[in-house]
Amino acid sequence: MKIEYPIRLQVYLAKSGAGSRRACESLITAGRVKVNNERVTTLGTKVNIQDVVMLDEETVEPIDKAYYIALNKPKGYVCTNYDPNEKLYARELIGINDWNILFHVGRLDKESTGLIIYTNDGEITNKITHPSYEIEKEYLVSCEREVQKKDMEDALKGLYIDMNRPYYIKKYQIMTSKWTKVVLTEGRNREIRKIFSYLGYDVKQLCRTRIGNIELGNMQPGEWRKLSYPEMQKLVAGTSETKDDKKGAR
């Protein structure tokens, strides 16, 4: 992840571990960033290697080494990097020296488990999270009662839950009376839970098992592994081929 100057301020911040590029844009417009002790709120501002950049009065510097980590988030841990009301942070489960510069790609709520990617590469993060790339996110969902096919068919067509743009699932598979596999391509806030609640189900367990070509596999809760750059390139290129695609599952 070679850094070439001059570099846009939001990219500089993302490479410093301040968050995804879009999150860093919000930090700038909120007035939380200074360059050479001058507050900057204009997006697109460029900085050079000799410039001093501060976020919330703390100096930040980009790291030219890129990290890509897959973590099996346990229940009870939060994805946010700081919340005064929380004590268990998923990021702190990752055993590398630079864990503090990592940020999550998408998120899982506190009660959900499964695969989440951590990185310090803001460009990769933007590609994974942007809806236009339509990267699949696969979940296993368990409810208090058996999920009905008709409800899943309705979710395929789109549900107007909050009267804005509809919520969709891309495909599904009712596996047993307890478990249903659901695939999304967006990842809006608490999307799975909102869809199932709207359809009259109480979600008891929710586990993300795949993001594109990256699978949870046999990782136990709290375990993590490094992802290779080729794996990440395949992910953002949308070249993954899943078992369900081969079988033609819905």
**Is residue 191 in a domain?**
yes
Using pLDDT thresholds of 50, 70 and 90, give the confidence band for residue 183: very high
Using pLDDT thresholds of 50, 70 and 90, give the confidence band for residue 238: low
- Count of the separate structural domains present in the chain: 3
Cα–Cα dist 206/108, whole Å: 9
Residue 243 has pLDDT above 60, yes or no: no
Range of the domain at 41: 7-59
Residue 23 has pLDDT above 90, yes or no: no
Rounded to two decimals, the pTM is 0.78
Verify that 35 and 92 share a domain, yes or no. Answer: no
Verify that 114 and 233 share a domain, yes or no. Answer: yes
Query: Domain with 97 in it: what CATH number?
Result: 3.30.70.580
- Of 51, 109, 154, 244, the catalytic one is 109
Verify that 178 and 125 share a domain, yes or no. Answer: no
Using pLDDT thresholds of 50, 70 and 90, give the confidence band for residue 108: very high
pLDDT at 249: 44
Verify that 179 and 230 share a domain, yes or no. Answer: no
Structure token pair of residue 53: 């950049």
Q: Range with the lowest mean pLDDT among 29-43, 55-69, 210-224?
A: 55-69
What is the b/e burial string over 33-46, where b = at least 16 CB atoms within 10 angstroms of the residue's CB?
bbbeeeebeeeeee
Using pLDDT thresholds of 50, 70 and 90, give the confidence band for residue 122: confident
Structure token pair of residue 192: 């799975």
162 classed as catalytic: no
